[in-house]
Amino acid sequence: MTHLRTAVESFDRIGARPWAEQAARELRASGVHARRRPPSRDEELTPQEFQIAVAIAEGLSNRGAAARFFLSPKTIEKHLSSVYRKLGIRSRVELVRRLGSRTENGTEGKA
């Protein structure tokens, strides 16, 4: 059971939700309930929203992000407004502050 509990925590930490949920199911089946940490606001973003947020934080315009992802600027705008709402921010400056460390380190935090 220790291994399952560790698996749940590890998968939660790296954002591997399907595996975390499977490990938690296995743990429950053994009669133990795993404590799950609530997802951070960053983890609430869809993969596409996250990619767009990182692109904008890197300094791309909506039009530039649209070209990078082969989407329309309106689609980028829709995703970006969803990102702002989910992260509780109101500007690109706040987005850069929130995601800046990820773009500087070259990591994106999501697979």
Q: What is the CATH number of the domain that holds 96?
A: 1.10.10.10
Q: What is the DSSP letter of 45?
A: S
Q: How far apart are CA 108 and CA 45, in angstroms?
A: 12
pTM, whole model, 2 decimals?
0.56
Count CA within 13 A, CB hemisphere, residue 91.
Answer: 3
Identify whether 11 is part of a domain: yes
Above 90 in pLDDT, residue 40? no
Task: Please state, rounded to an integer, the average pLDDT across all residues of the chain.
Answer: 79
Q: Region 24-39: what's the mean pLDDT?
A: 69
Q: What is the pLDDT of residue 36?
A: 56
- Regarding whether 57 and 89 lie in a shared domain, the answer is yes
Host domain of residue 70:
41-105
Domains in the chain, number = 2
- Regarding whether 53 and 30 lie in a shared domain, the answer is no
Q: How far apart are CA 41 and CA 47, in angstroms?
A: 13
- Regarding whether 30 and 18 lie in a shared domain, the answer is yes
- Regarding whether 54 and 4 lie in a shared domain, the answer is no
Q: How far apart are CA 93 and CA 40, in angstroms?
A: 20
Q: How far apart are CA 65 and CA 105, in angstroms?
A: 20
Identify whether 99 is part of a domain: yes
